[in-house]
Amino acid sequence: MPEPKNPVSEHRLRRRVQFHETDAAGIVHFSRYILFMEEAEHALWRAAGMSIMPTDAAVGWPRTAVSFEYHRPLHFEEEFDVLLRIVAIEERKIRYACTLICGEVRIATGTMTIACVTGAPGGPMRGVPIPEDIKERLAVAPDGEAEQ
């Protein structure tokens, strides 16, 4: 992956609602919003020249908190943007804020916190400091937790 010139603090992902993401009324199921946020997170990491789960990873990133507020439903075939921003980088955690927008309409807002851990697959995890090479490629968005 190419190395970015500056640390990445946010990413905008454009999507279209797929049929399998909707219920019988053609409305996106609430659980999909977390997957949209995670998809944008993976795109943000790629924009920073990394993968959140490389094959030789020394650390993992379990989700420790996720929340969403829903403002308007999304429907089949609607195009929307997922704006993901890094709002905090702590010693062992990264916190994101996410906004889903369809045109000029705010669809949903959410947050997600991930923890940096180590441990054998299937074994106990232990929180560890975020590696320096990762911290160098990510940054808190300039206006932090300000409204998006």
Q: What is the mean pLDDT of the chain?
A: 92
Indicate the DSSP class of residue 20: G
pLDDT recorded at residue 147: 46
Say if CB 62 and CB 115 are below 8 A apart.
Answer: yes
**Percentage of residues in the chain with pLDDT exceeding 90?**
84
User: Distance between CA atoms of 7 and 24, rounded to whole angstroms?
Assistant: 42
Domain for residue 32, yes or no?
yes
pLDDT recorded at residue 122: 75
Mean pLDDT, residues 70-84? 97
- The whole model's pTM is what? 0.90
pLDDT recorded at residue 57: 87
User: Distance between CA atoms of 87 and 85, rounded to whole angstroms?
Assistant: 6
Which amino acid, 136? E
Domain for residue 50, yes or no?
yes
Domain for residue 59, yes or no?
yes
CATH code at 68? 3.10.129.10
| Total count of domains within the chain | 1
pLDDT recorded at residue 145: 56
User: pLDDT of 88-145, one tens digit each?
Assistant: 999 999 999 999 999 999 999 999 999 999 986 777 889 999 999 999 999 999 876 5
Domain for residue 76, yes or no?
yes
List the domain range (segments joined by +) for residue 122: 10-135
Domain for residue 141, yes or no?
no
CB contact burial 13-22 (16+ within 10 A = b; e otherwise): bebebeeebb
Identify the band that residue 4 occupies on the pLDDT scale cut at 50, 70 and 90. Answer: low
Say if CB 96 and CB 86 are below 8 A apart.
Answer: yes
Dihedral sign from CA coordinates of 121, 123, 124, 126: negative
Compute the chain's Rg from CA coordinates.
16
pLDDT recorded at residue 114: 98
Of 99, 88, 105, 82, the C-alpha closest to 14 is 82
User: Distance between CA atoms of 52 and 75, rounded to whole angstroms?
Assistant: 29
User: pLDDT of 33-61, one tens digit each?
Assistant: 999 999 999 999 999 999 999 988 889 99
